[in-house]
Amino acid sequence: MKITRFVPSVLFGENAFDDLNAWIDKLYPNPQQYTVFVVDAVHRTTGLLQRLRPAPQDLVLEFDAPSHEPKTSDVDALRDRIVAEKGSELPRVVVGIGGGSSMDVAKAISVMLTNPGSSADYQGWDLVKHRGVPKIAVPTLSGTGAEATRTAVLTGPVKKLGINSDYSMYDHALLDPKLIETVPEEQEFFTGMDNYIHCVEASHGSAMNALGRPFALAAKASVENFFLKEKNYADFMVGSYFGGSSIANSSVGVCHALSYGIAFILGYRHGLANCIVFNQLEEFYGEDVRTFKAMVERHRVQLPKRVTKDVTPEQFEKMIALTYMLERDLVSTFGPEFKKALPPEKILELYGKM
Ligand SMILES: [Fe+2]
């Protein structure tokens, strides 16, 4: 039984951010209860943090997304801080404001306020037992689709793997295209490509169905238009939301499986790691890789070359094992016999080209 899920309500429009407090009051009309805002630390310098208007009882937690991708220890520490200040009282809502990392941290906190233990215990699929606290996504970077997916990607003590659960999906999203206009160009490119690659992988994969496909195709077109024709931020932002909605109901594929090894062992961030891998996947994704290369060229993006040249045989072994851990994605691309289509030698050959 496959149930399709979308974020049930969206507040969209230029300067919608100014209506955030009013929306929270309308959705959860209990002003005595506190709200948790999880804000990307980058917004200390963009001025967005200063535009927040928290009530005295609210908690504003910063996540230092510019310095590192989220770890399970970050989520646990922030959850512990909330519990230390508020005891067993739950917030009326958790608001995640920022890029994919900060939105993922907010998702995970919402779930970890109602589920015991460490967030590392829930890395995987459908391991979360109890509904989280309600949550609102406010993306300030477009492309990860985190505002619309079930996934909160976290690096734990032993693996980099998302908490994937119906309970980790946002209940609401506030999409204000003004918030993404000032993103640095390089970051805009790599997160835009994350969306592009999600949509390519989803639409080629067997996990896709007719309900998700139009979202993937519209999202893919929005990225192509943005980077090859005209930068329309409203379309680009909707493209991210559509891409997330598509991936929430399908699966990524071989590119994401291979990119986890690159990210985990070599430390590249997710968007860049995907681009390094996708650049070498023409045999699987043909025309879409050629379009990707046109976007890279048009924006004069320098992809790092020969990133695996100093990787040791032991590290390669680990990268192969990490790739195979993403079994679901490999099944979507290759079917249940994915190890025949992608044996360890083939993985090594592909990594060798990167
Ligand atoms: Fe991704």
CB within 8 Å of 21: residues ≥ 6 apart: 53
pLDDT at 352: 95
Cα(50) to centroid of ligand 1, in Å?
30
Yes or no: say if 231 and 279 are a contact pair by the CB < 8 Å rule.
Answer: no
Cα(47) to centroid of ligand 1, in Å?
27
CB within 8 Å of 167: residues ≥ 6 apart: 111, 128, 130, 131, 132
pLDDT at 31: 82
CATH classification for the domain delimited by 9-179, as one of 3.40.50.970, 1.10.10.10, 3.40.50.1970, 3.10.20.590? 3.40.50.1970
- Residue 90 structure tokens: 């739950």
Residues of the chain within CATH 3.40.50.1970 domain(s) are 9-179
Cα(132) to centroid of ligand 1, in Å?
23
246 closest CA partner among 12, 6, 11: 6
Cα(22) to centroid of ligand 1, in Å?
32
Cα(244) to centroid of ligand 1, in Å?
10
The amino acid present at 260, given as its one-letter code, is Y
Architecture of the domain made up of 184-354: Up-down Bundle (1.20)
- Residue 311's SS3 state is coil
Cα(249) to centroid of ligand 1, in Å?
14
Cα(194) to centroid of ligand 1, in Å?
5
pLDDT at 108: 98
Pairing state between β 135-139 and 172-175: parallel
Residues of the chain within CATH 1.20.1090.10 domain(s) are 184-354
Q: Which residues of the chain have pLDDT under 70?
A: none
pLDDT at 324: 95
pLDDT at 161: 85
Cα(256) to centroid of ligand 1, in Å?
7
pLDDT at 167: 95
pLDDT at 234: 98
